[in-house]
């Protein structure tokens, strides 16, 4: 998954992520994510699925 896609998903979900944060998250969303637990250290604990939620 490309960083641009991660950034677009985050913006669509109303999340403001720094470039550094996007660089940390991108490899996790590229198939290396073992579980949602791995997102906790990245500060995505409240609602990790919001990255994939379609907003109107």
pLDDT tens, position by position, 17-34 = 888 888 887 777 765 555
What average pLDDT score do residues 9-19 get? 83
Residue 49: is its pLDDT beyond 60? no
Q: What is the residue whose two structure tokens read 């290396």?
A: 32
Percentage, residues of the chain above pLDDT 90: 0
Alpha carbon distance 35, 12 (integer Å): 23
Alpha helices, DSSP H, located in the chain: 3-12, 19-27
Tokens of 9: 């998903």
Kindly state the DSSP code that residue 51 receives in the 8-state scheme. G
Tokens of 42: 């990245």
Residue 2: is its pLDDT beyond 60? yes
- Count of other CB atoms within 10 angstroms of residue 13: 16
């Amino acid at each position: 998954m490309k960083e641009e896609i991660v950034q677009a998903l985050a913006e669509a979900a109303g999340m403001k992520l720094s470039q550094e944060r996007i660089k940390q998250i991108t490899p996790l969303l590229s198939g290396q994510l073992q579980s949602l637990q791995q997102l906790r250290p990245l500060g995505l604990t409240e609602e990790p699925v919001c990255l994939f939620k379609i907003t109107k």
